[in-house]
Structure 1
């Protein structure tokens, strides 16, 4: 669903240029932690919600607790509020949300229930007992772009994208930068569906790209449809949210995946210990910090290329920056000067494309 993500989030405060001060003191939980999760979609959607639910299950095992879940909760206050308050009335004091459009309602709930801790995936709001979180997916898609560049025979790569928001645009840009690490002539053509989850539009977009001669398809949408179409057409692909080999084992060469338990487990432990201080801009997690990572590589990626991808992954963990200068956009305008790094506020607002990216707008 990354609709959340979608928006300029994390969070949006950074985009707006505001600079909230750190909260006065760490949040103090009353009693032992009782955690519950509210999912935007079904637990088995194959994408965003399923990745959240799988992280919930891993968190249960890591902490030895039970985390009940409410699924298919629409992104409206009239749906979110009753689901959250039912958990709270039953004694749950840590509520995990999973959608951008939960943001305002979670903010209201956090103010109404100051003794309850709230965290929200891809949200935009924060508070003394509320933290939004998301991941630096441009890192993982840079690595999957390298896999795409190594696997492509033509250098013509397609990308099925949801909406032309900053978090999608940074994915496309990083993907192309990764592809060019392997093939300096690689071109990534992106098509926006205008929806986070629309298998019909995703199928049409993937088929159109393949019809134009693309031999690898990447994606930033919620369903595995582009992977499935790629396999049906006998070409290759890279996935988003989860390991897409589940749906297209022959096509999938790399997937950008979520490991949210790497965020949930230490956060819940901090809440329990009374040391949790929600970050004023929310948690924006790199591979090193937990959240996004990759599953790589498929058989179409040569071993030498796979080794190089994993070396780059380690470089990112060690501090390498993808959007570092000098960097020009496709119109030749310098976006990042030599020696500089593209800042987080600019990342959320990214509305330009690097050289080698083709879009319909």
Structure 2
């Protein structure tokens, strides 16, 4: 998975460079002033980065594809295992276009540049790309505010922890991972103000061996709930083996660890895709100049919660907080300091999207290890 690690590392660099001008996914070109007009009936197709049964990122898109088909009453063919190189992406997409498909759904950062080139070459085709960084008159990249579900899962974690000692298996110390670790701790402290979160960074997005080592190390420290922002269910499997609890990422990890998993971040991309395709069909779609950064309210990330071990009163509080987020609550609202005591968000303020994408600090209660 070295290729995926490199491209995601490049993604964070691209996001950091774009923060000054927008929320994150790159400021490549503003959207057209007029809505995009699709010619003919909408025919959508999906290009998957990995296998549709990978248990994580690609499978979440596959499941969203099926739900989108059912909601719209259309068929969305899919091609899988299209890696992040122009020589793989271009022929797959152009074959769909040749067959009359006029809405192309991408699923990887590494598609960004090629999708930009294809969108310019085929201006009458609509392109959307999950975790991409390029945008244009007929192209919109989209990602989710994943820190919102992790805040809620942190609450569930603290609710089942005996002493409030939580752990977190994280991939790389980038903004998109750091904001999940911080949100996890902020959520946990809504239940237990003394809760701590010890995070171990594996240095890879998908490495079951390193994930197992990290999870076992956390369990060995007396931690009794393990969260994650990595691609495989290994951390949850280890939690179940150790007789402790865990929270998952990408999909509902109860599939792999039914006794251990009390909450998971789940990508519901259909909540973005369904209204977007409807807008494209209606001729009202206006791609955002900086892409779409979707919340629980707007579609993308949500939670699968809660496992039977979570007390009913805690479940009620979690769901109340979820509704508050939908109603406009901001996770990173002031006053907020980092663990060194430096003020990061003043009272009455909210952390900007640009500062979210370049987050390189941790809230009090987070302990980081390599």
Number of residue pairs the alignment of both structures matches: 361
Report the counterpart of residue 100 of structure 1 in structure 2.
Answer: 109
Aligned pair in 2 of structure 1 residues 258, 10: CA closer, same or farther (>3 Å)? farther
CA distance in 1, matches of 2:182, 2:215: 18
Q: CA deviation at 1:294?
A: 0.7
1:91 maps onto 2:100 in alignment: yes
Q: CA deviation at 1:300?
A: 1.8
CA distance in 1, matches of 2:227, 2:84: 27
Q: Residue 5 of structure 1 contacts residue 167 of structure 1 at CA under 8 Å; is this kept in 2?
A: no
User: What are the within-5 Å matches in structure 2 for residues 1-361 of structure 1?
Assistant: 7-8=11-12, 14-17=18-21, 21-360=30-369
CA distance in 2, matches of 1:108, 1:24: 20
CA distance in 2, matches of 1:301, 1:5: 34
Aligned pair in 2 of structure 1 residues 152, 141: CA closer, same or farther (>3 Å)? same
CA distance in 2, matches of 1:86, 1:209: 47
CA distance in 2, matches of 1:326, 1:191: 27
Q: CA deviation at 1:90?
A: 1.1
CA distance in 2, matches of 1:135, 1:123: 11
Q: CA deviation at 1:91?
A: 1.0
Q: RMSD across aligned C-alpha pairs, in angstroms? A: 1.7
Deviations 1:35-55 (A, max 9, x none): 110111110111110010000
Secondary structure of 1:119's aligned partner = strand
CA distance in 2, matches of 1:149, 1:170: 18
Q: CA deviation at 1:233?
A: 1.0
Q: CA deviation at 1:320?
A: 0.7
Q: CA deviation at 1:22?
A: 4.3
Aligned pair in 2 of structure 1 residues 311, 219: CA closer, same or farther (>3 Å)? same
Q: Residue 5 of structure 1 contacts residue 134 of structure 1 at CA under 8 Å; is this kept in 2?
A: no
CA distance in 2, matches of 1:194, 1:70: 29
Aligned pair in 2 of structure 1 residues 142, 94: CA closer, same or farther (>3 Å)? same
Q: CA deviation at 1:98?
A: 0.4
Query: What are structure 1's unaligned runs of at least 5 residues?
Result: none
CA distance in 2, matches of 1:161, 1:13: 23
Secondary structure of 1:359's aligned partner = strand
Q: Residue 9 of structure 1 contacts residue 124 of structure 1 at CA under 8 Å; is this kept in 2?
A: no
Secondary structure of 1:241's aligned partner = coil
Q: CA deviation at 1:101?
A: 1.0
CA distance in 2, matches of 1:317, 1:145: 17
CA distance in 2, matches of 1:213, 1:188: 12
CA distance in 2, matches of 1:189, 1:68: 42
CA distance in 1, matches of 2:69, 2:82: 21
